[in-house]
Structure 1
Amino acid sequence: MLLRLVRQYLAPYKGAVAAVVILQFLQTVATLYLPTLNAEIIDRGVVRADNGVILSLGGWMLAITAGQVACAITATYFAARVAMRVGRNIRSSLFTTVESFSSREMGVFGAPSLITRTTNDVQQVQMALLMTFTVMVSAPIMGVGGVLLALNQDIPLSGILLLILPVLFAVIGLVLRRLIPLFRRAQKQIDRVNSVLREQIMGIAVIRAFVRERTEEDRFDAANRDLTGTQLRTSQYLALLFPAAMLVANLASVAVVWFGAYRIDAGQMQIGALTAFLAYIMQILMAVMMSMFMIMMLPRAAVCAERICEVLDTESTVRDAAAAVPLVYDGGTLVFDDVGYSYPGAESPVLHGISFTAESGQTTAIIGSTGAGKSTLLNLVPRLLDATSGGISIDGQDIAAVTLHSLRSGIGLVPQKAYLFAGTIGSNLRFGRPEATDAELWEALEIAQAAEFVRNAEGALEHRVEQGGGNFSGGQRQRLAIARALVVKPAIYLFDDSFSALDFATDARLRAALRERTRNSTVLIVAQRVNTITDAAKIVVLEEGRIAGTGTHAGLMDSSPTYREIVESQLTAEEVA
């Protein structure tokens, strides 16, 4: 997965990658040549006291070193640019993919896991790519070149390499087998910590209200301890690598000096060759050490790449059909024809055989007990979910056969939880229609009964909105969300229990103002309060995912026991009469 991901996102930067490889090659070759040049200075210059040779070869060493530094700096610069851009492109692809997900895919992955994959996982892949450019290009060249040049200095002494390299590779292999499962477990535990933390931050008011701080602390501590334990075990394995490598390196150096001294004494080796051989031994060990450093990163990066590809390879269950055509709105008449919906893994469908028509210019209300499927039904209209049976049409056009953009551009949705984005009041109101004028925004605010508190806010339309609208009350957020839908001027309005935070007086004024704005539109309202829908042209009563009655308030009071039960549970006998 890691190789596939890197190959895919490196394709646009082949030129820069080639430049990095060439520069790293030149820098590594220079590094390998310097010990040989140093041996020449010792044997031909220092030993023979020839200052001319020392100055001449010393000048070459300085020039090669300067070129080596220039290549290293340039290669690192280009490697960093490419790695950062690849990370940026992967994050962008993840964001685009997640944006296309329906509620079903969002439920499968979960918001905390998607955030971790887009940030932490991408960063791991990005850093592995950067280290590959700066380490893995030079490490093989330095390792192989060091062996060849060490053989060139003294073949018998090179037998020491046959002892140290297998030991190093054996240590690396043993550690690697234990690291990969630990890295995979750690990434899942990071998801768990993020999930618990996000839940606790979002629900902090409830936690405090029920005095559950200590319980939640224990729950977070449990997730945190699991992650800490896994990371400690990972660190313990990694901690073995460097001491083991340094032990082998020091033993190898002692062995080289010991046996090299005998060969010098026997006249079979020169002093400069011994110093060069020591340098090559260290370069070989450095190449192995750099490879070990990459080995520490690659398993984690590979696990992260798997998680990233899992998201990128997931196709939304809600997408345009192959031959999708734009939807042409002509009033917005909405027809449900034997519609059913089942959540993945559910024992039974949440909606069964739903059939009704919401006429243009009329208000259709949906009411029922909690869990009856009201919000699910509403989410089927803009295809936030796709019906698993039956069909929905708008103005005679099947919504499954039209483009999502054309479908949703004619729908104004006010969700059950009014969510505002960080920015200003104006930017939130223009969310669905960026070209809307200030006059249109104020008109929508007047209808939504929000104009007064917006005028009193510092900056009015330019008043800052915190993430989620945390600096507004629930009722204010609902009214701003309603105004946001009104600015779009859609053919179909969907209100998912969008008036629950309003007092009765504000609710009455808002609905009266809405009638004028929506007189040529289709209005579908999910409601909990009976007295707010008694004047609806049509009321659809849901019970356990099925239609238990359809009609006007007066008609349902006579024909639907379920509706009458709901009414009697909310209104007094005098009001019912």
Structure 2
Amino acid sequence: MIQTLLREVKEYKGASIATPLFMILEVLMEMMIPFLMASIIDDGVNAGDINHIYKVGGVMVAAAAIGLLAGMAGGRYGAKASAGLAKNLRETMFNHIQTFSFANIDKYSTAGLVTRLTTDVTNVQNAYQMTLRMFTRAPASLLCAMVMAFRINAKLSCVYLIAVAILGVLLALIMSHATKYFQQAFPKYDDMNASVQENVSAIRVVKAYVREEQETAKFKKASENIYRIFMKAECNLVYNAPLMQFTVYSCILLISWIGAKMIVASTLTTGELMSLLAYCMNILMSLMMLSMVFVMISMSMASIRRISEVLNESSDIENPAEPVFEVPDGSIEFRNVDFAYRRDSESPVLKDINLKIHSGEVIGIIGGTGSAKTSLVNLISRLYDVTGGEILVGGRNVKEYDMEALRNQVSVVLQNNVLFSGSIFDNLRWGNQRATEEECKRACCQACADEFILRLPEGYETHIEQGGSNVSGGQRQRLCIARALLKEPKILILDDSTSAVDTATDARIRKAFREEIPNTTKLIIAQRIGSVKDADRIIVMEDGRVDAFGTHDELLRENAIYREVYESQTKGGGDFDEKAGD
């Protein structure tokens, strides 16, 4: 887990190594100052030697200057290394998520992934910076101060050992309780982010149903859960400061009392006592810093685990060792295909699918809600992999193709029509980055999108809001169809992508397909039989199986489900889920 994160240090290894080296140098310079101060008092002030004071004082100034510069360099390189690690982590996570199959993405919530890319990475960044600086500085300072103190007076320095032992045990107890709550807190951010994301993305529905108060209450509950857990953790940590102050002042009193007696007995000098008091603060503050570093590391462990989960997640779908980059044609064949979203599922979504579709054919796909129409077409471009059987495109198993090459030739207009912020041209060029304005306009003409675009004040330069919120459902569908056409695919799949357009426009789009892209295989999922009755053949799906496959006339004669739905729709305008007699 830690190794997974350290691989992302990459080009910031130099800064990561330089930071602790500078921190150690700073500590060494700081430890020299109390020792030199004792020499000034004993050998300079008490002896009346002004030259010794100047000489040692100059060394102290030089040590302080070097320590200052070393501390500044350590801070600079520490910030560079930790910020660089965070940058690399976000980039690697984001790039890795792009390789996920739909099955991988289904394991994580959107809010969970956003939290990992933001809050969790920030926690790791802070912990890494503290590890490089404080986790180096605190032990080095503690060790050096103890060595110097024992060098001055071993008997009196035993006070430090007793204080460190007692304080270490008490701080460990405090940390163990606090970190338990911190580990519970960060997963709660997922719930809060999910609440925000759901509310903002569906704000129109929230306002339409006047649910602002309920949504506010839901967010307040998620926020209060985080507040309560952090309060429990902080209530444990508040004991750190008073405990540390009590220990420090107790040590000062003991050393002053015992030291005063030793000075009177001429076994200790005044300068040595002052140095021991200075080292007392160094030792105990180093222990305090160590405790905070451990708390930060413990806080970040939950974040490290969550980030590692994403980085170690292997895509269920990978390119073959020697992929095929050319898709010969748009023919499709399903051979004994079974499919389940989970490998261990006892009831597959698709069962024993056998179909053969010729290149250039127009195929309609209809079926009731939950009949697995979308699941069927998602397998063609390897958005998911089959769990049994095989799918051939252009006479080859889809698993033999390079995924990018396959998906460039199998263009899918998904049920959820998504547009991105930017101009209409920007959105269209998602289909082909190098498309010219003329090519974009031709695709819009084929999708009947030019009708409303030309009426817009800014035409094709009109700005589209995120998600396409400033255009209607039908307009969004037509733009998505045009975007798919720009890829000039060998297979075009429309997953209920004309449901929001009127029947006349639907008919014009289908006519344009027949005339403009006759060699492209077209699969059209629809609820309206009118949208597919002119297709070369029609697939009737029922409960994850192909109930029938034939022309409109053949299905009317031979398939009871198709005939009942057709009669229902022609008589009463019902859809596929409203069968005759229901």
Q: TM-score range by the shorter chain?
A: over 0.9
Aligned residue number for residue 333 of structure 1:
331
The match for 2:263 is 264
**SS where residue 9 of structure 1 aligns?**
coil
Mapped pair 1:69 → 2:92: no
Q: Is the contact made by 2:363 and 2:536 (CA closer than 8 Å) also made in structure 1?
A: yes
- Once the two structures are superposed, residues 483-506 of structure 1 have per-residue CA deviations (whole angstroms, 9 ceiling, x without a partner) of 111111111101111111112222
Q: Residues 44-59 of structure 1: matches in 2 within 5 Å?
A: 44-59=43-58
Deviates more, 1:207-216 or 1:277-286: 207-216
User: How far apart are residue 569 of structure 1 and its match?
Assistant: 2.7
Residue 220 of structure 1 is matched in structure 2 by 219
Tell me if the contact between 1:327 and 1:397 (Cα under 8 Å) persists in the aligned partners: no
1:523-571 CA distance string (max 9 Å, x none):
0111111111110111000011111111111111111111122222322
Q: Distance in 2 between matches of 1:211 and 1:568?
A: 40
Secondary structure in structure 1 of the residue aligned to 2:354? strand
How far the C-alpha of 1:170 sits from its partner, in A, is 0.7
**Aligned counterparts, 1:70-469, within 5 A:** 70-321=69-320, 323-344=321-342, 346-469=345-468
Moved more, 500-509 or 520-529: 500-509
Give distance in 2, aligned partners of 1:439 and 1:327: 28
Q: Deviations over 1:165-216 (max 9, x none)?
A: 1112112221232233322211211111112222222233333333443333
What SS does the aligned partner of 1:391 have?
strand
Higher deviation after alignment, 44-53 or 66-75: 44-53
Letter paired with 1:335: E
Query: What SS does structure 1 have at the residue aligned with 2:371?
Result: coil
Once structures 1 and 2 are overlaid, which stretch shifts more, 304-313 or 48-57?
A: 48-57
Question: Is 1:350–1:373's contact at 8 Å kept on the other side of the alignment?
Answer: yes
Q: Write the distance in 2 (CA, Å) between the matches of 1:14 and 1:97.
A: 22
Q: Residue type of the partner of 2:335? A: D
For 2:85, the aligned partner's letter is V
Q: What letter is aligned with 1:339?
A: V
Establish whether residue 19 from structure 1 lines up as the match of residue 18 from structure 2: yes
Aligned-partner Cα distance in 2 for 1:402–1:508: 34
State the identity as a percent: 34
2:183–2:301: 8 Å Cα contact kept in structure 1?
no
Q: Secondary structure at the match of 1:493?
A: strand
Q: Is the 8 A contact 2:568 2:574 kept in 1?
A: no
| TM-score after normalising by structure 2 | 0.95
Structure 2 contact 188–226 (Cα < 8 Å) conserved: yes
Which amino acid in the other structure matches residue 556 of structure 1? L
Q: Partner of 1:492 in structure 2? A: 491
Deviation of the 1:434 alpha carbon: 1.0
Q: Which moved more, 1:474-483 or 1:214-223?
A: 214-223
Distance 1:296 1:456 in 2: 61
Letter in 1 for 2:475: Q
Which amino acid letter does the alignment assign opposite residue 392 of structure 1? Answer: I
State how far apart, in whole Å, the 2-side matches of 1:219 and 1:431 are.
Answer: 37
Unaligned residue ranges in structure 1 (runs of 5+): none
Deviates more, 1:407-416 or 1:343-352: 343-352
**Secondary structure of 1:109 counterpart:** coil
What CA distance in whole angstroms lies between the structure 1 residues aligned with 2:574 and 2:471? 34
1: CA distance between counterparts of 2:46 and 2:473? 88
* CA distance, structure 1, for counterparts of residue 46 and residue 144 of structure 2: 27
Contact 1:238 1:296 in 2 (8 A): no
Structure-1 separation of matches of 2:325 and 2:565: 37
8 Å CA contact 1:331, 1:360 repeated in 2: yes
Question: Deviation per CA, 1:99-148, whole angstroms, max 9, x where unpaired?
Answer: 11122221212111111111111111111111112211111110000001
Going from structure 1 to structure 2, the CA distance change for 1:406 and 1:8 (only over 3 Å counts) comes to same
Bigger mean CA offset, 434-443 vs 176-185: 176-185
Note if contact 1:358-1:524 (Cα within 8 Å) is conserved in structure 2: no
SS in structure 2 opposite 1:108?
coil
- Look up the equivalent residue of 1:61 and give its one-letter code: M
Q: Is the 8 A contact 1:5 1:305 kept in 2?
A: no
Q: Name the aligned partner's letter for residue 263 of structure 1.
A: M
C-alpha deviations, 1:444-483, integer Å up to 9, x for none?
Answer: 1111122243334454333322221222221221111111
In the alignment, is the contact (CA less than 8 A) between 1:45 and 1:53 conserved in 2?
A: yes
Relative to structure 1, is the Cα distance of residues 47 and 80 closer, same or farther in structure 2, using a 3 angstrom cutoff? same
Check the 8 A contact 2:473/2:500 in 1, yes or no: yes
User: 1:346: Cα distance to partner?
Assistant: 4.4
Moved over 6 A (4+): 573-576
Aligned positions, number:
574
**Aligned partner letter, 1:382:** S
Distance in 2 of aligned mates of 1:568 and 1:167 = 86
Contact 2:337–2:352 (Cα < 8 Å) also in 1: yes
Provide closer, same or farther for how the CA distance between residues 220 and 524 of structure 1 changes in structure 2, counting only shifts above 3 A. Answer: same
Give me the whole-angstrom Cα distance separating, in 2, the residues matched to 1:433 and 1:59. 70
Amino acid at match of 1:572: K
TM-score by length of 1: 0.95
Residue 324 of structure 1 deviates from its aligned partner by: 4.0
Q: Which amino acid aligns with 1:402?
A: Y
The whole-number CA distance in structure 2 between the counterparts of 1:141 and 1:527 is 71
Distance in 1 between residues matched to 2:522 and 2:257, nearest whole Å: 92
Report the Cα distance in structure 2 between the residues aligned to 1:464 and 1:85, rounded to whole angstroms. 35
Shift in alpha-carbon separation, 1:416–1:574, aligned structure 2, 3 A: closer
CA distance in 2, matches of 1:6, 1:276: 42
Taking a change above 3 Å as real, the CA distance of residues 59 and 544 of structure 1, as seen in their structure-2 partners, is same
* Inter-partner Cα distance in structure 1 for 2:457 and 2:151: 79
Q: Given residue 518 of structure 1, which amino acid in structure 2 is its aligned partner?
A: I
**How many angstroms apart in 1 are the aligned matches of 2:493 and 2:572?**
31
Match of 2:524 in 1: 525
Partners of 1:171 and 1:153 in 2: CA distance: 28
Residues 442 and 451 in structure 1, CA contact (< 8 A), matched pair in contact too: yes
